[in-house]
C-alpha cells in the first residue's frame, strides 16, 4: 500500500488581499467564489459556502482519498496566512509540512523571513512569477538564502514561464549548494521551454513538484494522458527520484475530486509500480522529512 504525500496544497482562513493593485476577496452570498483580478471565479467547491479553507476540511478530504500527509504552500493570491499556518503546523505536525512566506514585495522582507524561521517554519515560499524579473538576484534575497541554508530550511519557488528566471536559479544553486530547493507547478509544463525548469533538478539539491498539473492540462481533462507523458519526459531527463506529486488543493477540486488529482497516475499503464511509489510518496516523504506516515483504509461510498 502506498502512503501518499501531497507536495503542494493551500489552506487559508480568510482570502482578502491585493495583488498588482487588483483586489482578490471572497464574494457574498456564495463565499466559495472570489473576485479574482476583476473576474468572478469559483475558488472553492460550491458547498464551502463560508469561504473557510481549513486544515480540518482538508484532512477530511485527505482521509477519504487516502492521502497520508501534505505540504502546505502559500501564494500572494491567498493573502499571507502565516499566523493561521503556524497554528496548523503545531496542531497537525504529523500530517503537514508548512511553508512560511514573508511579504517579498516589501522592503523589510529579510527581517520578516528570519522571524518566520525563528517561529518554527521549516521552509519559505517564493512566488517568483509574481515578483520583479530580477528579484532572485537581489542582495537582500541572498541574505535570506544564507539564513535558510544555515538552518536547513527548504526554499519552495514557482518561476516565471519558461526559462525567464532559470539563469538566476543557476546562480542561486551555485552560490548556495546546500540549500534544498523545490520547484513548483512542474515547471509550468504546458508553457514553452518548460523543460528548462525541470533540468534544474539535475543538481543534487533541487527537486520538482507537480502542483497544478491537472489545472495546466484542464483542457484535455481526466485522465490527463499528456500529463502522464510529461511526467515520463521529465523522469527521463532528471530521474523519477527528483519528482513528486502535488494537487494544488483546493482550487483544482472545483473541476475534479481530490482523489482524481492523483489517481490518473495510479491508473496509468505508462508508469511502473516503483515509479508511482516514488512520485506519489517516497520522494516527498524523504525530502520534507516526514516520519512514519498514517495508513488510511479505503472507505466505500454509499453508491458502491
Rounded Cα–Cα distance for residues 121 and 118 (Å): 7
Q: What is the pLDDT of residue 19?
A: 86
Phi, psi for 39 (deg, rounded to 5): -115, 150
Q: Is 97 in contact with 56 (CB distance < 8 Å)? A: no
| The model's pTM | 0.96
* CA 139/CA 75 separation, integer angstroms: 22
List % helix, strand, coil for the chain (3-state, nearest 5).
Answer: 40, 15, 40
- The H-or-E segment that residue 285 falls in is helix 283-288
Nearest-5° angle of CA 104, CA 200, CA 270? 120
CA–CA dist 167, 173 (Å, integer): 10
Name the grid cell of 134.
530580477
Question: Residue 148: its pLDDT value, please?
Answer: 98
Q: 19 - beta bridge partners?
A: 22
Phi, psi of 190 (to 5 degrees): -90, 5
Tell me the pLDDT of the chain (304 aa) as tens digits: 789 999 999 999 988 888 888 888 888 877 788 888 888 988 888 888 898 999 999 999 999 999 999 999 999 999 999 999 999 999 999 999 999 999 999 999 999 999 999 999 999 999 999 999 999 999 999 999 999 999 999 999 999 999 999 999 999 999 999 999 999 999 999 999 999 999 999 999 999 999 999 999 999 999 999 999 999 999 999 999 999 999 999 999 999 999 999 999 999 999 999 999 999 999 999 999 999 999 999 999 999 8
CA 65/CA 51 separation, integer angstroms:
22
Question: Which pLDDT score, from 0 to 100, does residue 15 have?
Answer: 86
For the stretch 174-206, what's the b/e string if a residue is b when 16 or more beta carbons lie within 10 angstroms of its beta carbon? eebeebbbbbbbbbbbbeeebbbbbbbbebebb
**pLDDT value of residue 68:** 98
Q: Give yes or no for a contact between 224 and 264, defined as CB atoms under 8 angstroms apart.
A: yes
For the chain, the straight-line distance linking the first and the last C-alpha, in angstroms and rounded, comes to: 21
Would you state the cell numbers that stand for residue 146, as one nine-digit string?
544564507
Closest among 195, 213, 280, 212 to 240, alpha carbons compared: 280
β-bridge mates for residue 243, sequence order: 208
Cell of 35: 473576485
Amino acid at each position: 500500500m502506498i502512503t501518499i504525500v501531497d507536495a503542494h496544497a493551500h489552506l487559508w482562513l480568510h482570502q482578502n488581499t491585493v495583488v498588482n493593485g487588483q483586489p482578490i476577496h471572497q464574494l457574498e452570498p456564495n463565499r466559495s467564489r472570489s473576485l479574482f483580478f476583476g473576474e468572478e471565479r469559483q475558488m472553492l467547491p460550491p458547498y464551502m459556502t463560508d469561504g473557510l479553507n481549513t486544515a480540518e476540511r482538508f484532512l477530511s478530504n485527505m482521509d477519504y482519498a487516502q492521502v497520508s500527509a501534505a505540504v502546505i504552500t502559500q501564494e500572494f493570491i491567498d493573502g499571507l496566512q502565516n499566523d493561521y499556518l503556524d497554528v496548523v503546523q503545531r496542531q497537525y505536525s504529523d500530517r503537514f509540512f508548512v511553508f512560511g512566506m514573508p511579504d517579498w514585495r516589501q522592503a523589510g522582507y529579510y527581517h520578516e523571513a528570519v522571524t518566520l524561521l525563528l517561529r518554527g517554519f521549516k521552509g519559505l515560499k517564493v512566488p517568483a512569477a509574481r515578483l520583479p524579473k530580477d528579484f532572485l538576484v537581489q542582495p537582500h534575497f541572498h541574505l535570506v538564502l544564507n539564513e535558510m541554508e544555515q538552518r536547513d530550511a527548504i526554499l519552495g519557488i514557482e518561476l516565471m514561464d519558461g526559462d525567464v528566471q532559470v539563469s538566476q536559479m543557476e546562480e542561486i544553486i551555485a552560490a548556495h549548494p546546500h540549500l534544498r530547493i523545490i520547484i513548483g507547478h512542474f515547471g509550468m509544463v504546458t508553457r514553452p521551454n518548460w523543460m528548462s525548469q525541470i533540468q534544474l533538478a539535475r543538481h543534487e539539491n533541487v527537486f520538482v513538484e507537480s502542483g497544478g498539473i491537472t489545472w495546466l492540462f484542464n483542457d484535455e481533462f481526466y485522465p490527463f494522458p499528456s500529463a502522464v507523458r510529461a511526467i515520463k519526459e521529465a523522469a527521463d531527463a532528471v530521474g523519477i527520484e527528483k519528482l513528486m506529486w502535488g494537487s494544488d488543493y483546493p482550487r483544482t477540486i472545483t473541476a475534479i475530486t481530490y482523489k482524481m488529482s492523483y489517481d490518473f497516475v495510479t491508473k496509468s499503464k505508462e508508469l511502473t509500480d516503483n515509479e508511482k511509489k516514488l512520485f506519489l510518496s517516497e520522494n516527498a516523504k524523504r525530502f520534507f522529512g516526514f516520519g512514519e506516515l498514517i495508513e488510511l483504509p479505503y472507505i466505500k461510498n454509499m453508491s458502491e
